[in-house]
Amino acid sequence: MKILSVSTATNHLSVALNEDQQVIVEKNERDERNHSEHLDPLIEEILKENKLTLNDIDRFAVAIGPGSYTGLRIGITTVKMFASILNKEVVGISTLQALAKGVKEPALVITGLDARNDNYFAAGYISGDIPKNVIPDGHYKIDVLIKAIQEYAAQNKVDKIVFVGSGLEKQDEKIKALNIPYEYGTDEQNVIHAGLIGQLAIDAQPVDPDKLLPRYLRRTQAEVDWHKKTGKPFEPDSHYVEEV
C-alpha cells in the first residue's frame, strides 16, 4: 500500500511517501512559515522523483491536530481534496501520537506543543510501534499537565519520561520536581515526521473526506465568551452554516 503523508501542524513542514511500513522518502522544511507555498510543490517533487502520480497513492494521511490552526487547515484541506476527488482513502493521525512514535526506548513520552502563556497542547503516550495513549490529547495549563503525569505515575510503574515537542524545557523546574528520571527529545524527535504518520496510518480507520476536520482541541475565545454570556449550549459548528 502506497501512503502519502503530510504534516503542516507546526512551522516544520514534512511530506513522506511510504510503501507499507517502509518510508521510501521523507522531505522536511524547517522553520518555514509558508506552508501554503511549499506544500504542493514538495508533494509534486516526491511524486516525480518516484515516477508516481497522485492516482497511484492508495491512502492519504495527515497530522489532524493539535497544532497551529492555520497550518493544520492547509494540510487537511489538501489531502481532503485529493481523497475526495480521486476516491482514495484518507486518515487523520494525532500530531502528538506521531511525535511520541519518534521515541524508540521504553518510556512514558510526554508530547507537547507550546501554546503560549504556560499552556501546551499535550498528551502522554507509552512508547512503541503504535504509541499507546495514557494521558489524553488536550490543551493543558502546565500545572494541570504535571498533575496528570503525577497521577499516572502513582498508579503505573514509570522508569523514565521523555519530553518531546516544543517549549517544554522552560518548565524544567516543575519537571525536575516530579522526581522521575527524565530527558528531553533530540532535535530530530522534537519535530513531526510525516514518515511516522505514514506508518501510523496503516492501522488507522479511513474516514469520509468530507468529514476530515482538524482536531483543534480548543474552542475559539469568541465562542467561549459567547457561551458564558448567553448560557446557550455549544452546537456543532455546521449548525451555523447554511446554503442559500
Partner 1 sequence: MTKLEINSAEEMQKLGASLAKTAKPHDLLLLNGDLGAGKTTLTQGLGRTLGVHRPVKSPTFTIVREYREAKLPLFHMDFYRLENDDLSSIDLDGYLAEPGLVVIEWPQLVMTDLPDEYLQLTITRVDDSWDSTKRVVELNAHGERNEEWVKDALTEYEK
Partner 2 sequence: MSEKKDIRILAYESSCDETSTAVIRNGREIESLIVATQIKSHQRFGGVVPEVASRHHIEVVSQITKEALNEANCGWKDIDAIAVTYGPGLVGALLIGVSAAKAASMATGIPLIGVDHIMGHIMAAQLKDEIEYPALALQVSGGHTEIVLLKDPVHFEIIGDTRDDAAGEAYDKIGRVLGVNYPAGKTIDAWAHEGKDTFNFPRAMMEDDDYDFSFSGLKSAFINTCHHADQIHEKLNKYDLAASFQAAVIDVLANKTIRAIKQYKPKTFIMGGGVAANHGLRDRMSAEIAKLPKADQPKVILPDIKLCGDNAAMIGAAAYNLYNDNQFADLTLNADPSLELPYAKSMLN
Does the footprint of partner 2 cover residue 11 (CB under 8 A)? Answer: no
Does the footprint of partner 2 cover residue 70 (CB under 8 A)? Answer: yes
* Minimum CB–partner distance for residue 63 and partner 2 (Å): 15
Task: Name the residue among 168, 164, 170 with its Cα closest to residue 196.
Answer: 164
> Which of the residues 160 through 179 are near partner 2 (CB under 8 A)?
none
Stretch that binds partner 2, among 65-73, 102-110, 111-119, 163-171 (CB under 8 A): 65-73
Task: Give the three cell numbers for residue 14.
Answer: 514534512
Strand 89-94 to 59-65 pairing: parallel
Which ranges of 63-137 would DSSP assign to H, the alpha helix?
69-86, 95-100
Name the 3-class secondary structure at 91: strand
CA 10 to the chain's CA centroid: 9
Does the footprint of partner 2 cover residue 59 (CB under 8 A)? Answer: no
Q: At CA 198, angle to CA 187 and CA 93, rounded to 5?
A: 85
CA–CA dist 230, 168 (Å, integer) = 36
Q: Give the one entry of partner 2, partner 1, none that residue 144 binds, where binding means its C-beta sits below a cut-off of 5 to 8 angstroms depending on kind.
A: none
Stretch that binds partner 2, among 19-27, 146-154, 155-163, 232-240 (CB under 8 A): 232-240
For the sheet containing 59-65, what is the strand order?
22-29, 13-19, 2-7, 59-65, 89-94
Does the footprint of partner 2 cover residue 116 (CB under 8 A)? Answer: no
Which ranges of 24-94 would DSSP assign to H, the alpha helix?
35-49, 69-86
* Minimum CB–partner distance for residue 7 and partner 2 (Å): 14
* Minimum CB–partner distance for residue 225 and partner 2 (Å): 8
Residues that bind partner 1 (CB under 8 A): 33, 68-70, 116-117, 220-222, 225
Q: Which residues contact partner 2 by CB under 8 A?
A: 34, 36-41, 43-44, 54, 69-70, 73-74, 76-82, 84-86, 209-210, 213-214, 216, 220, 222-223, 226, 230, 237-238, 240-244
